[in-house]
Structure 1
Amino acid sequence: MTDDGTGQQARALHVFDMDGTLLAGSACLDLSARAGYLSSVEEMEDAWGRGEIGHVEFYDLLIPLWSELTHEDVDETFAKAGWIEGLREVLADIRSRGERSAVVSLSPHFFVRRLQAWGLDYAYGAGVEIGEPVLPERVYVPETKVTVVADLLAELRLGADRCVVYGDSSSDVPLFQRFPNSIAVNASSSLLPFAHVTYEGPDLASAYALGRSLLGDEAEEPPQP
């Protein structure tokens, strides 16, 4: 689809990283804590972040640790996760303006997609599943984010100037290098040199206000129903 579901073309796209940006910590750590393997996976994530293990190897090691998790476990972990304040309100405001929202994450798609129940339009993440072999071509790397966003903008018939990207870590560097309207949210030092603007704080609405200013229409009122 190239419109907002009402026959009107989408007016802008807001792209969010999930772990560390919308979610304190990471989905993988939260799920691993639920499964009883938090310490082991913390060490794995540290090694992953240092480049000592690759993205596919990380999931090859991780997925077996989640073998006992049920859909109910995942639902409860999602509901109890440390989401940033104002997330649902921001997603609602984006949609009210005829714009679209997307989350593009290296974490599992089965976790990311649950945000659609809160008003997210597009969910993208690693195509791994509990109890199934890891397919390398379905595991995301940082460069995958650029491809996903470029394809989505083409589908929506939007230029890069109508896209705002929000992230927090080195995995967002390729995205920030490609799309100039970029906001570092509670970010690591590795991302800050690539950000157009930065935000530190607990409220997504404040970071989103910066995004609106980059679009040049921060004073615009949401369309009336």
Structure 2
Amino acid sequence: MTRLHLFDMDGTLMHGSAAAVEISRQLGVEREIDELERAFAARELTPARFAALACELWGELTEDRIAAAFDGAPWMDGIPDVWAEIRARGERSAVISLSPGFFVERLLTWGVDAAHGSRWPEVPFLDPVDPAGILDAGAKVRIADELCAEYGLGRADCVAYGDSMSDALLFAVVPVSVAVNADHHVRDIAAHAYAGRDLREAYALVGAPR
């Protein structure tokens, strides 16, 4: 094993959308979540506050609606193919996302080695969101370091794929990064940039390990 590939989910593996948007669409609260998304992007809300407000919006959330949101999301083409090729090379893959873990962890069935998201209450929500369980941009670096320790690798062995401000800290500490349909926060600092709908093409920019 020579490398660890670290993928963001919202806006990266999911083209032009996010778990919160897809869940809210199932519940008919798209307008409300759009307002929260704009406030979060403007740094008016912390990840924990965003999660608390979203939890209030999703009082009618069920496992069936989570499944429908996941299945109907605009995923990039070729995700399982990329993870299968990474594994065939003897490498590892992981998803690290600020989105709810109950959504992120569904990607394990597609062949990713590890999937980390924020810790939310069980559905249906009977308890409030615990701010300590909500990930932020710094947590992506911490989890990447934990995965490196588990796999016997270091930051120098990592490749990061992301699209926005929440990925910038991770991009800053790994040697190879791919901005996928990204904004300027990561596009300007990434080693590679990709615009399109096929993750296989973004992965191809990295090339084989030396």
Q: Distance in 2 between matches of 1:17 and 1:53?
A: 20
Preserved CA contact (<8 Å) 2:137 2:167: yes
Q: Distance in 1 between matches of 2:110 and 2:150?
A: 23
C-alpha offsets along residues 49-96 of structure 1, whole Å, 9 cap, x if unaligned?
101111111111111211212111111211111000111111111112
- Structure 1 gaps, min length 5: 1-9, 217-225
Preserved CA contact (<8 Å) 2:36 2:50: yes
Q: CA deviation at 1:212?
A: 2.8
Q: Distance in 1 between matches of 2:154 and 2:44?
A: 37
Q: Which moved more, 1:142-151 or 1:160-169?
A: 160-169
Letter in 1 for 2:92: R
Within the candidate set 40, 54, 59, 1:48 is matched to 40
Within the candidate set 83, 89, 113, 1:121 is matched to 113
Q: Distance in 1 between matches of 2:139 and 2:112?
A: 20
Q: Does 1:19 align with 2:14?
A: no
Letter in 2 for 1:194: I
Letter in 1 for 2:179: A
Q: Would you say how many aligned residue pairs link Structure 1 and Structure 2? A: 206
Runs of 4+ in 1 over 3 A off after TM superposition: none
Q: CA deviation at 1:11?
A: 3.0
Q: CA deviation at 1:189?
A: 1.4
* Local SS of the residue matching 1:211: coil
What RMSD over aligned residues (CA atoms) do the two structures have, in Å?
1.1
Q: Distance in 2 between matches of 1:88 and 1:155?
A: 23
1:203 alignment counterpart: 198
C-alpha offsets along residues 117-176 of structure 1, whole Å, 9 cap, x if unaligned?
111110001101340311111101111100000111011111223211100001100000
Q: Distance in 2 between matches of 1:200 and 1:56?
A: 30
Letter in 2 for 1:92: A
Q: Which has the larger radius of gyration?
A: 1
Preserved CA contact (<8 Å) 2:26 2:68: no
Q: Does 1:133 align with 2:128?
A: yes
Q: Distance in 2 between matches of 1:96 and 1:191?
A: 29
1:180 alignment counterpart: 175
Q: Does 1:86 align with 2:78?
A: yes
Q: Distance in 2 between matches of 1:191 and 1:94?
A: 23
2:99 alignment counterpart: 107
Within the candidate set 51, 59, 76, 1:67 is matched to 59
Q: Does 1:166 align with 2:161?
A: yes
Identity of aligned residues (%): 42
Letter in 2 for 1:113: E
Q: Distance in 2 between matches of 1:125 and 1:81?
A: 17
Q: Distance in 1 between matches of 2:157 and 2:177?
A: 11
Q: Distance in 2 between matches of 1:183 and 1:165?
A: 6
* Local SS of the residue matching 1:194: coil
1:223 alignment counterpart: none
Preserved CA contact (<8 Å) 2:180 2:202: yes
- Structure 2 gaps, min length 5: none
* Local SS of the residue matching 1:88: helix
